[in-house]
Structure 1
Amino acid sequence: MAPEGRNEARDQMEYAPLELPDTPQLTRNITHFARALRVAGLPAGPGRVADAIAAVAAVGFSEKAEFYYTLRACFTARPEHRVIFDQVFRLYWRDPRYLDHMMSMLLPAVRGAAEERMAKPAEKRAAEALLQGVERDTPDLEGGEEASEIEVDATLTMSREERLKTLDFEQMSVAEMAQAKRIIAQMTLAVPPLSSRRTLASSRGAQPDWRRTMRGAMRHGGDVVDFARKDRRQRWPSLVALCDISGSMASYSRAVLHFLHAVANQKGAGWADVHAFTFGTRLTNITRHMGARDVDAALAAAGAEAQDWEGGTRIGACLEDFNRDWSRRVLGQGAVVLLITDGLDRDEPERLEAAMERLSLSSRRVIWVNPLLRWDGFAPKAAGIRAMLPHVSSFRAGHNIAALQGLAEAVARPDDAGEKARLMAAL
């Protein structure tokens, strides 16, 4: 049986491999390749570089696939790292015209005969990593009889910030993600207050306060001088966020956690308390880490606390743990629950449905944020999604900044259902 990923490696070899130079030059090339991986987001430190050089010297590269698998074993520690590694590897080692390919990805798109191709996940990040420090030459379009005139349709162009708001988190480069985090840090998540059954004295209250009226009449010999009025007290609900940090949700979870950190540190937003939990194969309470003022320190502490980051997914088991250990503590006073997950679960659908039903009955609203909703043809075909959908109040997308802004509007409208009605009709 072929090793796992053999077909994937074969796809990376669509170009003839470059001639590998002598050992000193190869060492320099591997070092530069590791630097590009590090800029693209992989933990390719000096220790991994030394291991890669020693491994290549020991294994050799008599076959085309051996060099690829040797470097991948040294520079990737998790399955999600392979996406970035494969893109950088293909551009650096396989394609003889990789520089032109990367330039075409980073230059502004011009509408021509060829249709614009959307970059694959991490491909743009890999291009920027390899082009760091390389000057981008602008073609000379002036003069000469053979110079062709290029017409650019600017009627539907957007500003850089507007384009960034509609760009998928998974398609963002390192610089774009940094700018997106700055925009997310300024977003708010306001919520309307709830009317309590308890009342308080109010001169313009909607209800008469007969008890206070009779007390006042006793001070004047039984004559009613003034009618006292009262109104319902207003209280603020709590926000409880359950964020999926499995491998399929890694890019989106980090952006959502930045958003939750901004909400937790906002003053005057209206929330009584903000509680944050992460889950993959187990449930982790990261509420106290979200209270840190520095977002990088907060997410670093949360990542150290959650040992199952970018691992598997057991939504049903984690929700059962939350219902048993935390629901009575944090879901009182009409809490609003944000459930951030793609709904792809390995547990039994019946177990997940029972946990979702209890979560729905224990909270005021359950708003499901699912990045899979970005696809136009999305349908509730997975067993986990079909089990969860009937027990949520609203179903929203969460794949870009615009979707998070729509989520803020949905929280402010208690009657918002998002895409739930359409998807329920498809069940």
Structure 2
Amino acid sequence: MAMIAPLPAAARLFVAFPTLMRGHGFSVAPEQTTSFLMAVELLGPRSIEHIRKAAVATLAPHPEQRELFDALFDLHFLGAIAEPGDEDFAPDEEMAVQEDSGSREILVGEEVNETGQAATGAEALSVRALQPLDESETLRRFARALPAALPRRRGYRHRGARRGPSVDLARSLRAAIRHDGEVMSLKKLRRVTRPRPILLMIDVSGSMKQRSDANLALAHAIVQATPRVEVFTFGTRLTRVTRALRRKRREQALAEASGLVADWDGGTRIGDALQAFLAVPRFASYARGAVVVVLSDGLERGDPAALVSAVARLAARAHRLDWLTPLAAEPGYRPETEALRLIAPQLASLGNGASTARICRHILSLGGSTAA
């Protein structure tokens, strides 16, 4: 006799709710219970109201029973202190569901940059929960405009066109057959263009603490908008977070990415991180012909010579290298740190990275680059 697997503990609460409904006169079929579980899994609920909406959609209470349904729901999931139908029916404060704000930080290292106002060479390893940001509309508009705004390069494939340097012999012959073998016109071919890849390098050191969360959210929008993107973070070490940011839901993607990065809010060794990036052939290949965007204040605490060498090699591989720093928010900004002054000649631009809107505007403006 086949053994039936026990019900997972996490699912028992949800399975018990349709049973409670049946006990109060609701008609709930087993298939509806299964649909309820699938809806909860699909939504990945972030609040109790998401579970309520899933229950209404799948368990389908009659409109006349909706008040009783809500009372039973609150009783079951929120631990109400009164019976359904009582006027003082309310959730018990001690039993109410508490949502995690995501503000906890587990410190692994001995030091942490509390203010994020200065660069340091010390390494502080930590696990960090990224804060939710109210920039959804800005990122949504940016993601819609990005594919058409990216610089493009000529591909190897050809496509039929009205004008072009080559003759499409197959199309020309097919057209001639339709005209009894008479060639009325020669069909042309042109090479198609495709968007250039993007390489995004994000500084997560202590001096960039105020921008780290927003920059990762921006990176997620870019990864979702175009397929050829690679994202790395750096502080005192290099971390590839591309795979985590490919998750569709931003909250899940940022949560997974935050678990991969160990050097949050620590020291700044940009040169060493870029040298490590170029030392791995697979990583270095991501920069070839790409639009490279570095989001960093450039407050290097390591050897400036290592940074200059790495930036020169990176710029030689890339289509263009743009460095966006929050320090450039003031009009007429001039780089003050030795590292930024030394690498400035290698950069296509040294721009304003003080806000998500300014970074989005800069990236969208790169579409003026000509295909090569």
| Aligned twin of 1:196 | 154
Q: Which residue of 2 aligns with 1:324?
A: 279
CA change 1:198–1:205 in 2 (3 A) is farther
Q: CA deviation at 1:371?
A: 0.6
Q: C-alpha offsets along residues 228-283 of structure 1, whole Å, 9 cap, x if unaligned?
A: 311112122111100000000012121111011112123xxxx3411110001111
Name the residue aligned to 1:187. 142
Separation of aligned partners in 2, 1:398 and 1:82: 19
Give runs of aligned pairs for residues 110-259 of structure 1, distance below 5 A.
178-180=133-135, 183-188=138-143, 189-190=146-147, 191-192=149-150, 194-196=152-154, 198-209=156-167, 226-259=185-218
* Closer, same or farther: CA 293–212 of 1 in aligned 2, 3 Å: closer
TM-score (norm 2): 0.58
User: 2: CA distance between counterparts of 1:321 and 1:40?
Assistant: 31
Cα distance change of structure 1 residues 178 and 328 upon mapping to structure 2, 3 Å threshold: closer
Aligned to 2:5: none
Residue deviations 1:29-51 (CA, integer Å, cap 9, x gap): xxxxxxxxx9995759xxxxxxx
- Count of residue pairs the alignment pairs up: 254
CA-atom RMSD in angstroms: 3.7
CA contact (8 A) 1:216 1:224 kept: no
2:291 pairs with 1:336: yes
| 2:315–2:347 contact (8 Å) kept in structure 1 | yes
Q: Which runs of 5+ in 2 are unaligned?
A: 1-99, 118-129
Report deviation, 1:392. 1.3
Structure 1 residues 388 and 193, CA gap change in structure 2 (3 angstroms): closer
C-alpha offsets along residues 91-111 of structure 1, whole Å, 9 cap, x if unaligned?
A: xxxxxxxxxxxxxxxxxxxxx
Q: Contact 1:208 / 1:227 at 8 angstroms: preserved in 2?
A: no
- Matched residue SS, 2:233: strand
Return the alpha-carbon distance in structure 2 between the equivalents of residues 306 and 281 of structure 1.
11
Q: Distance in 2 between matches of 1:204 and 1:408?
A: 32
How many Å separate the matches in 1 of 2:113 and 2:284?
36
Contact in 2 for aligned 1:195/1:232 (Cα 8 Å): no
Indicate the SS of the match to 2:134.
helix
In the superposition, relative to structure 1, how do residues 274 and 197 fare at CA in structure 2: closer, same or farther (>3 Å)? closer
AA of the residue aligned to 2:162:
R
Q: Report the counterpart of residue 364 of structure 1 in structure 2.
A: 319
Task: State the Cα distance separating 1:224 from its structure 2 match.
Answer: 5.8
Measure the CA separation in 1 of the matches of 2:249 and 2:319: 31
Could you say if the C-alpha distance between residues 346 and 203 of structure 1 is closer, same or farther in structure 2, counting changes exceeding 3 Å?
closer
How far apart, in 1, do the equivalents of 2:325 and 2:115 lie? 24
In structure 1, the gaps of 5 or more residues are 1-37, 45-73, 84-119, 121-173, 416-427
Q: Distance in 2 between matches of 1:289 and 1:82?
A: 28
Displacement after TM superposition at 1:217 (Å): 12
| Matched residue, 1:385 | 340
Alpha carbons of structure 1 residues 318 and 82: separation in structure 2 relative to 1, 3 Å? closer
Amino acid at match of 1:288: R
Q: TM-score, normalised by structure 1?
A: 0.51
State the Cα distance separating 1:201 from its structure 2 match: 4.3
Q: 1:82 to 1:252 in 2, by over 3 A?
A: closer
1:313 touches 1:346 (CA, 8 Å); kept in 2? yes
For residues 365 and 80 of structure 1, the distance between their equivalents in structure 2, rounded to whole angstroms, comes to 32
Task: Name which structure has the greater RCO, CA cutoff 8 Å, separation 6+.
Answer: 2
Please tell me whether the aligned partners of residues 216 and 225 of structure 1 are also in contact (alpha carbons under 8 angstroms). no
In the alignment, structure 1 residue 374 sits paired with structure 2 residue 333: no
Query: Is residue 261 of structure 2 the alignment partner of residue 306 of structure 1?
Result: yes
Residue 374 (structure 1) shift: 1.2
Cα deviation code 1:284-311 (max 9, x no counterpart) = 0000010112222222221221111111
Could you say what secondary structure the match of 2:218 adopts?
helix
The question of whether the paired residues in 1 share the 8 Å contact of 2:150 and 2:364 is answered with: no
